[in-house]
Structure 1
Amino acid sequence: MKDILWLVQNTLRTMLKSKRSVVLFILTPLIGLFIAFLSNGGVNSTILKIGVVQEENTGLANDTVQYLKGMENVKVQKLAESQINGQLSSGKADCVITLGQGYEKSIQQGQPGHIELISIKGAQVTEYVKSYLYHYINNIAAISRISKGNAQTFNKIYADYQKPNVKVKASTLEDTSKEKGMTSQTIGYLIMIMLISAGSLSEIILKEKENRTYYRLLSTPINARKYVIANILVNLIVMVVQIVLTLVIMNIVHIHLNMPSWEMLIILLVFSLVAIGFAQVTIAFAGSTSASSALQNLFIVPTCLISGCFFPVDIMPKALQRIADFLPQHWVLETITKLQNGDLLQSVYLNFLILLAFAAVFFLIAVFKFSRNSSTKNFV
């Protein structure tokens, strides 16, 4: 045990002396966090700016403007027709609604018209406004059709519509979908960095063989098994630092996990075993650092892509979704999603067993390959 601890300390000391290693193993995981934060534009709600051109001063036109002002996350300002282009091009208005002459009469006839909606931001804005405004207008037009041209009947029904007897109590629910997306994207980048870090740290074994340091160590009481165990422990230490640092920074920038932090820590620690096991497989089959790097590049990025580390797996073709089921990264992200949706930790035990099975298979393959290889350039 003393020999193993000495090897761990020596490897960590050497790694910390290298600025490149510190950036790669400690700071790189934070890049994914900031990419996710910037690509989602933070977590603040957006205020929609609506300009209204009211060409007639009638009761229904005024009520329509008041309805727009009552919408949540909307700021309404009255404009002149000459201001439309300037307000839209400068971004001071996201869309402009024009209530033209004859607007009230068209609604009273049951055929809404003389209304125009303009936006340079496309359907993302116009569809939101239409869904509320057109529903309101169509309700009034329906009242007009029921009244069959009788102004007294229309006014009575319309007055009741404006002041309903039914009392509604509204409660605001927090929309966590954006934060969940940011969490999945951040953890997706972290998963890829963990795989790359495990591969780079495991390549130390091959590098020290190439420069003959490995064989000099074996001339001491240190044997090959102690050497490999020390490398695995270094991997674990580095990954724990990566995981904890990422979770702390996520908390500082207010990216909520929507699940207990300790559960996220457990999930990622289990995956760290998978990452280390995979790294050991690559160096077991590779005869040099260049071959090991090639193997890692061949598997890490494509599998992370397919498993949904960079974008939701649901948008991919069904065939790729089936392939994702056989990748450990997918099971990490699926476990996180279930826990974010309210599942208990004990209810996702199967996911943990699958991840542990991946780790066990990787380690067994590595051990088998080491034991079968008779070359003096391998460890066991």
Structure 2
Amino acid sequence: MNNIMTILKHNLKTTLKGWFWLILVLPIGVNLFVNIISDRVDKSVEDSGKYFNVGIYTKDKSEIVEKLLPKDKFKTRLIKASEKDLRGSLDNGDISVGVIIDSEDIYKDIKANKEDSIKVISQSKGNNKDYVLGILNTRIMQANSLGDNKEEYLKAYESYEKNKYKIDYEGSEMQKIMPYTTMFGLFTMAFLFIGGRCLVPLLKEREAKIDKRILVSKISKPQYLLGHILGCYILLVLQSVILVATFYILNPSLNISLGWMIILSLALSFMGIAIALTILSVSNNSSMYYTLLSILITPMCLLSGGFVPMALMPEVIQNISLVFPLTWINSAYTKILFNGDSLSIGLDLLAAISISLVLIIMYLVIENRKGNKLSC
């Protein structure tokens, strides 16, 4: 055990030399970067849904106005007493869009196709105005098609609202978590490169034949390898735990299972070790190791759902990506964000760990074939 701890400390000391701040700052920096993106996404969402205030000045006091601009389509719908009051609220930023209904009987004017009865004004550079115009156009078409008079229209409208087909979709939720999936994709790419960096001491000692001198001492080959691997694993776990901690600190409103995030961190770290060992096993020198690290990690991260949802990829790519442990890690992470079924999350993580274990076994087999047989 003492021998393992000696190699472990050696690995940590060698790896952290010059890399400590990167290992510490990377997860924090990625989280901060994503929160900036998320804030911008939230602002763009405000331009396309029920997240902004709209003001209305109308001469028509009937319930037709409610049908044209329903309250549930906006964050707040404010009725103004005059056009001057409406424009003042717009100038002050109290509302994003103003609607002027310059008609005492807007239903009659709609049926008569009278122009300039409704005006939409906005000072925003976003899509708020287009959103309001879209709602108005839809409601005007309904007014023209649902009945021949106001009473028939109101009756048909109530029937339509009561019986219309409602679609449940995850579009808004997906838009909400997209910055966090992108964050995780960026993090895992850098994380895997750092995981590869953690095993460089083992590679350099092998190149310089230092490992043979070490093995002549009381340290056995399994103890030597285990010390390096555990040192690397500790650094990766530390980095992933910092990511999770920063994630929770910066996003306190997100209701996500801490337990699953910790398990995900452990599985991700195990996967990082497995991939680095696999690349190490087929590398003859440092140059080859770094080259393979770049060639293999980059496409794997791009094709495993960290940046582009798997559903948007060709079926062939989806099938190929199933052999990547990172694909299952990303799948589990997305389900955790959605508060998905625990069994499904557990199976994804089990798949990632199983594939990683196969990779580690491949490393041991290849090392064996090279003549580096383990001896206690």
TM normalised by structure 1 equals 0.75
Runs of 5+ consecutive residues of structure 1 not aligned to the other structure: 148-153, 167-173
Task: Select the residue among 109, 119, 122 that pairs with 1:107.
Answer: 109
Match of 1:363 in 2: 360
Equivalent residues of 2:279, 2:292 under 8 A apart: yes
Distance in 2 between residues matched to 1:339 and 1:70, nearest whole Å: 30
Match of 1:293 in 2: 290
Give the letter aligned to residue 275 of structure 1: G
Equivalent residues of 2:107, 2:143 under 8 A apart: no
Task: Select the residue among 125, 129, 133 that pairs with 2:128.
Answer: 125
Cα deviation 1:89-142 (Å, max 9, x = unaligned)? x99975565656798375353647534557797894355324533344445445
Moved more, 335-344 or 112-121: 112-121
Report the 3-state secondary structure (helix = DSSP H, G, I; strand = E; otherwise coil) of the residue aligned with 1:196.
helix
Distance in 1 between residues matched to 2:235 and 2:208, nearest whole Å: 24
Q: 1:111 to 1:142 in 2, by over 3 A?
A: farther
Equivalent residues of 1:4, 1:226 under 8 A apart: yes
Distance in 1 between residues matched to 2:224 and 2:106, nearest whole Å: 85
Identity %: 20
Distance in 1 between residues matched to 2:256 and 2:195, nearest whole Å: 26
Q: 1:217 offset after TM fit, Å?
A: 2.0
CA-based RMSD of the aligned residues comes to 4.1
Distance in 2 between residues matched to 1:266 and 1:11, nearest whole Å: 24
Q: 1:327 offset after TM fit, Å?
A: 1.9
Task: Select the residue among 170, 184, 189 that pairs with 1:187.
Answer: 184
Q: 1:243 offset after TM fit, Å?
A: 1.8
Equivalent residues of 1:50, 1:94 under 8 A apart: yes
Q: 1:157 to 1:10 in 2, by over 3 A?
A: closer
Runs of 5+ consecutive residues of structure 2 not aligned to the other structure: 163-169
Q: Does 1:245 align with 2:242?
A: yes
Cα deviation 1:296-320 (Å, max 9, x = unaligned)? 1001111111112123233333433
Moved more, 92-101 or 345-354: 92-101
Distance in 2 between residues matched to 1:4 and 1:70, nearest whole Å: 64
Give the letter aligned to residue 48 of structure 1: F
Match of 2:37 in 1: 39
Question: Following superposition of structure 1 onto structure 2, how do residues 252-291 of structure 1 map, counting pairs within 5 Å?
Answer: 252-254=249-251, 258-291=255-288
Give the letter aligned to residue 201 of structure 1: C
Report the 3-state secondary structure (helix = DSSP H, G, I; strand = E; otherwise coil) of the residue aligned with 2:199.
helix
Task: Select the residue among 302, 315, 320 that pairs with 2:317.
Answer: 320
Match of 1:2 in 2: 2
Q: 1:239 offset after TM fit, Å?
A: 1.6
Distance in 1 between residues matched to 2:317 and 2:151, nearest whole Å: 60
Give the letter aligned to residue 187 of structure 1: F
